[in-house]
Amino acid sequence: MLPMSSILTFGLLLIGLVGALDTGNHPEWPRWCGKVYQPHFPPGGQTVEPALLPDGPALDVQFKPRYSIYLAGGQLAEFIVKANPSPWRGQKWPNLNKASPSPPPPLFFNISLVSNKRVLVSDRLDISSSSSTSSTPSHDVFTFDLSQYDLTPRFEPYQVVLTGADPSGTYHISATSELVFLPDKKTGSITRLDHLNGGILFRSAATNHMFEPFLPFGYYASCDRFLCDKDYVAKVKAYQALGMNSMVSLTTVQDSGPVYKLMDGLDMRYMYDLREWYKNLTAVREQVSVIRDFEGLYSYWGADEPDGHQDPFNLLPEARDAIRQLDPYHPVSVTLNCQDFYFDEYTAGADIIMEDAYPIGINSSFSKWGTPCNATYGDCGCDNCQGNVQDVSSRLDTLSRYETWLGLWPKTKAHNPQTFHGEGYWSRDPTDEEVVAMNALAFHHGAKLIAGWVWPFTDSLGKTMGSFGAKVSKSPVREFVVTGELIQFDIAGINNDDASSMVEAACWVGERVGEQNNKVLVSVVNGGHEAIDAEVSISLPRGLVVKGLEEVVWGNGTWTWTAGILKLGKQSAMATNMVIMHV
């Protein structure tokens, strides 16, 4: 017989076991009468603003090669050096507060190879007291001659270090980066990214093996009813004739080799789809080893919405490493669906960040699943969206803000415009005007690549996408968007606050000085559903004075100007107006 104490203990254990056997579905959720009563919980993975430094701003110094890759046989290379006061991170430096009676001293620095200490650049950079969050941060570009340093071209990056000090030698700075110096490639295309403005440069037989600015503009291209059809030749040619210059090809080179050879012959460039394979490195290597030397390849699509699928963080970095072992000549892209879910982790393996905010025709507050949508609950087809074209602007700004908070060098951005409806989320197609507005707003906020989901869909939207794409993806507009400096600015002249909030303006200033820098590209988008009768006034930056109208790129608004003030009248609802001006 068990002693009384053991019987009591055994009884309590049984009661605990019975209590642990909860009934009903999902016992891990808080429920009453079997029903969830507290479904909201933070999803986790949010990117938040860092804590402020207790002693005021510090000097945040970053540097990077101008281009993602350099090739053997090339002589000149460049480093971009950024040195800006930061409220969150950096190294101690005097007079960074705006209230300081004296300006910050300049930074004298060397950039050297880690392996042998050889100095590549020795120069100085003036420091501004403006914060790193300013729209005009301090940076400069410093040139050096690669041929002087006997560097061996190789797939492994060279480690480089920046060391510097103030003139008195009291304050010291250091930062690290990598220089990719590759053997030249004799077959197929090469793509490199511009780390100054985020643009894409492309080289192939079609460009006479010279790098040229490239603004990809097109669709994700399906296998069904398009690339895998028996009449694919006619369909690809018709797609190109609409004005598209690229696609994200959704078929393998093993299954559709003739399609890729056709596109190479047409100079129809493509991002190669690895989204179905990136979890299997053997499959990744098999695909890359075949496609890497094709003429039209400009990038790999590494992963599709890994944040939405909540994929393990390591998958894309491992896939990119496998790709680079075979092909370091083309960047890797990732598509993000979420507005704020482990941004750092899900972009770590990508060179190009694509966002697919699809806002048109959604119910932003209540989902097809019968639940509300908010920051902690629900899926309404566009994460944390309002359901208007401004969601594109907000999403791109959000991604850039995360990079600033995390201290990351900005990566090339891309926009995937919505050109579809259905799936219980999107009640209608975007209008032609909404599609153009979303693409223009994406350019306003730094996008350098457009890939709509998905082709084929509607003839009307395809024609509109092609018409707009043909304008912006060709010279002279592409040079502004790809290599020029993007400047966003305020507008004036609209008395209605609601209407004013719907109008955005931006311009691109040409990169080069002299004759090629006497023009600016100006774009204004009325993202509202009402026409604006009032004239919109735009003050051009840097004291630029308008001398005349060079070209109307898009739109039918009325432009006038006086000195440095541009005025735009007769903006219709959801209108995009884009012009090139002499200055």
What order do you get walking across the sheet with 107-113 strand by strand? 119-125, 107-113, 158-165, 172-179
Q: pLDDT tens digits for 422-474?
A: 999 999 999 999 999 999 999 999 999 999 999 997 778 999 999 999 999 99
Whether omega for the bond prior to residue 456 falls within 30 degrees of 0, making it cis, is: yes
d(CA 430, CA 293): 37
23: pLDDT confidence band, cut at 50, 70 and 90? confident
43: pLDDT confidence band, cut at 50, 70 and 90? confident
Q: pLDDT tens digits for 342-390?
A: 999 999 999 999 999 999 999 999 999 888 998 888 899 999 999 999 9
Residue 512: predicted pLDDT? 57
Task: Give the residue among 415, 528, 512 at the shortest CA–CA distance from 472.
Answer: 415
Domain boundaries, the chain: 58-182, 190-483, 485-582
Q: pLDDT tens digits for 263-273?
A: 999 999 999 99
Same fold, 58-182 and 485-582: yes
Cβ pair 574, 530 in contact under 8 A: no
Q: Which two structure tokens, joined as six digits, stand for 572?
A: 């219709």
Is 485-582 assigned to CATH 2.60.40.1180?
Answer: yes
Among residues of the chain, what percentage have pLDDT more than 90? Answer: 81
d(CA 87, CA 58): 7
Residues 67-74: what's their mean pLDDT?
96
Q: pLDDT tens digits for 302-355?
A: 999 999 999 999 999 999 999 999 999 999 999 999 999 999 999 999 999 999
d(CA 271, CA 151): 31
Distance between first and last Cα of the chain? 102
Pairing of β 200-203 and β 212-214:
antiparallel
The fold adopted by the segment(s) 58-182 is: Immunoglobulin-like (2.60.40)
Is 190-483 assigned to CATH 3.20.20.80?
Answer: yes
